[in-house]
Structure 1
Amino acid sequence: MDALGKLYTSTTIVTVNLDGKLNGITVAWVTRVSWQPPMVAVSIGKTRYSRELLDKADSFAVCILGKGAREIAEYFGTVSGRTTDKFKKYPYMMSEGNLPVPEGTIAYLECEKTGSFEAGDHRVYVGTIRRQKVLKDEEPLIFGEHKLK
């Protein structure tokens, strides 16, 4: 393993609601980028259907998964929303901002998309956090060394 593989992060599902079309994708590449205003950045592969939706959406949610959500993380990370409604398999709730929050989420951030840029084989989306909520006081599911822990 190289040094880059030593960067461990919380496993999240980034969700979107584009004109009633709900979708989500498992994402480990999420980071804070500003304290004031509070902002985050998420990195999505350019070939992903979620990238197409995020290009058109005004907002997205970053749903931080708990340790018991490994199966949900794997499902949202391997099944394409282009051909499957991922939210039919697992229960979810809608946030105050009308974004889907899947089962297994321990906390979430509702973000207004404020920009995006190309980064190699990914596109990075920057969002200003408009609302955030802790649902369960648990440790997050960690992504590192190419596996969920």
Structure 2
Amino acid sequence: MGDDQSGFDEMVDAIDYPMFVVTAHADGRRAGCLVGFASQTSIDPRRFLVGISKRNQTHDIAEQAEYLAVHLLPRERTDIAALFGAHSGYDTDKFTRCAWSEGPHGLPILDDAAFWFVGKTVRRFDAGDHDAFLLDPVDSGSRVSAPGAQSWVTFSDVHDLDAGRDA
């Protein structure tokens, strides 16, 4: 076995990961970004991990925040995914361009999300060019009646976006 990582790159390129929008609120500031590095990591206790780029304004605010909100968007809302993925919070107030309401712990909750949950950060650690935030879900909401009948924004829906900031 050598150092050839092309098989790994091909495998992760083939996976059509769901995309999430993560929002944060701390010290009177709010931010949000599109994330593709996210997954449930435990059933008992419930845990969910999100990776946020260290170059992202959301990262700066998430470092100060005790709670984060994670949103799953229905496929027809790729415009919201593009807003949070193709614009930097350093340059654009994304929340003036979408519908949202204040949720638990002062977090912005996107009105167009099919599902959302708020998680308390129980651990944060270096994961390369991203930091990983391990969340304990403490509150949640849904705006769909038949979740299996919908499709979600996935990587293939947003792969052509120019990121607001490079990782």
CA contact (8 A) 2:23 2:68 kept: yes
Q: Which has the larger radius of gyration?
A: 2
Write the distance in 1 (CA, Å) between the matches of 2:66 and 2:40. 19
Moved over 4 A (4+): none
Normalising by structure 1, we get a TM-score of: 0.90
Write the distance in 1 (CA, Å) between the matches of 2:157 and 2:14. 6
Higher relative contact order (CA 8 A, sep 6+): 1
Structure with more of its chain in helix, by fraction = 2
Deviations 1:7-64 (A, max 9, x none): 2222211001113312110111110011112110001111111111111110000011
SS in 2 for 1:140: coil
1:56 and 2:64 correspond? yes
Unaligned 5+ segments in structure 2 are 1-8, 161-167
Percent of pairs with identical residues: 22
Q: Given residue 50 of structure 1, which amino acid in structure 2 is its aligned partner? A: T
Superposition CA RMSD, Å: 1.8
Aligned positions, number: 148
Structure with more of its chain in strand, by fraction = 1
Unaligned 5+ segments in structure 1 are none
Matching residue of 1:27: 35
CA contact (8 A) 2:78 2:158 kept: no
Write the distance in 2 (CA, Å) between the matches of 1:139 and 1:146. 14
1:143 and 2:155 correspond? yes
SS in 2 for 1:9: coil
Matching residue of 2:24: 16
**Among residues 41, 49, 61, which one is paired with 2:49 in the alignment?**
41
Deviations 1:87-140 (A, max 9, x none): 001111222332112242000011001111111211111110001221124321
Matching residue of 1:99: 107
Write the distance in 2 (CA, Å) between the matches of 1:106 and 1:37. 24
C-alpha displacement of 1:145: 8.7
Matching residue of 2:125: 117
C-alpha displacement of 1:146: 6.5
SS in 2 for 1:53: helix
Write the distance in 2 (CA, Å) between the matches of 1:108 and 1:116. 20
CA contact (8 A) 2:32 2:84 kept: yes
Normalising by structure 2, we get a TM-score of: 0.81
CA contact (8 A) 1:5 1:145 kept: no
